[in-house]
């Protein structure tokens, strides 16, 4: 099997109806330092991970200006620019950093405009294919935050707009202001709080990007259904968690992240795992 066909086995989804990507992508949060803060311990490995992702066929990379901050976007450009045709880089704005593992929202229009301009410069792009509002700021009217994104889309600096950590009401509200093509909420085998959003996104052909997609927790303990299934299928529990996500919805776009080439290769090979109806049902029935 050609390496570039590995990610292709996850299937294709068209973001916004016009940006085809393989459904198994790469999340570039973990190529930064501890606490998603500062430079990576091993910059050469971070660069190698990004290059290897493309070799494995991945053509959808998700990042944010707050990862580092700024470090992830800069490394992506350093490793991959000039970008190959068909590569979709999604980024986000709207979260600020106070230090390692410290995040707080800023949805002020002036900040979002500055954040977008910074992302364009670091990524060496004239237009961001998918720009996501990282969080709705409770201290700023959502219409103001979304309005400036709509303005920048009209200016040609954003192709498509997505949201992160939103409920159905917030999505409906946003859609009255600007077309929303993706939702990025936490969702995995052990955390299904956003089950209804997965279904809603599928109904409306909106890409659902589950963050923290590899979580298995106690479900992977020795002797468990997941552990035994992994043994039988000669796979890792985390690979089955990804395979389950891909099977869960045709608009699901998992973006597992890592700072290790070996781990990246393991994650990507999850695209080749075809769960039987019985195995999918058994995983779906698991409770954390």
**Catalytic residue set:** 67
Q: Structure tokens of 128?
A: 């961001």
Give the number of residues written for the chain.
288
Alpha helices, DSSP H, located in the chain: 43-55, 71-80, 109-123, 142-154, 168-175, 195-203, 225-232, 237-248, 261-268, 277-284
How many CB atoms within 10 Å of residue 274? 12
- Return the CA Rg of the chain: 18
How many CB atoms within 10 Å of residue 239? 22
Measured CA to CA, the distance from residue 65 to residue 102 in angstroms comes to 14
- Closest by CA position to 162, among listed 117, 208, 131: 131
Measured CA to CA, the distance from residue 7 to residue 53 in angstroms comes to 9
How many CB atoms within 10 Å of residue 157? 19
* Phi, psi dihedrals of residue 22, rounded to the nearest 5°: -70, 140
- Closest by CA position to 49, among listed 80, 73, 22: 80
* Phi, psi dihedrals of residue 81, rounded to the nearest 5°: -80, 135
- Closest by CA position to 37, among listed 112, 102, 93: 102
């Amino acid at each position: 099997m050609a390496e570039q066909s590995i990610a292709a086995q996850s299937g294709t989804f068209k973001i916004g109806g016009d940006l085809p990507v393989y459904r198994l992508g790469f999340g570039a949060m973990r190529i930064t330092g501890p606490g998603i803060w500062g430079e990576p311990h091993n910059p050469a490995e971070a660069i190698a991970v990004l290059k290897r992702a493309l070799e494995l066929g991945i053509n959808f990379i998700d990042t944010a200006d707050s990862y580092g901050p700024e470090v992830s976007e800069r490394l992506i450009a350093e490793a991959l620019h000039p970008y190959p045709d068909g590569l979709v880089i999604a980024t986000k704005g709207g979260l600020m950093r106070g230090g390692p593992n410290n995040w707080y929202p800023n949805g002020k229009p002036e900040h979002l405009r500055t954040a977008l301009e910074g992302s364009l410069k670091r990524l060496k792009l004239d237009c961001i294919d998918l720009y996501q509002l990282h969080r709705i700021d409770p201290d700023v009217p959502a219409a103001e935050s979304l309005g400036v994104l709509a303005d920048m889309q009209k200016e040609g600096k954003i192709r498509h707009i997505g949201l992160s950590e939103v409920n159905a009401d917030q999505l409906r509200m946003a859609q009255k202001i600007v077309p929303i093509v993706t939702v990025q909420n936490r969702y995995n085998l052990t955390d299904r709080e956003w089950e209804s959003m997965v279904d809603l996104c599928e109904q409306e052909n909106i890409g659902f990007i589950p963050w923290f997609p590899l979580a298995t927790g106690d479900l992977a303990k020795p002797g468990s259904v997941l552990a035994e299934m992994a043994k039988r299928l000669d796979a890792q529990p985390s690979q089955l968690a990804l395979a389950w996500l891909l099977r869960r919805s045709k608009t699901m776009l998992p973006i597992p992240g890592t700072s290790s080439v070996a781990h990246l290769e393991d994650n990507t090979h999850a695209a080749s795992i075809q769960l039987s109806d019985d195995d999918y049902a058994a995983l779906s029935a698991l409770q954390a």
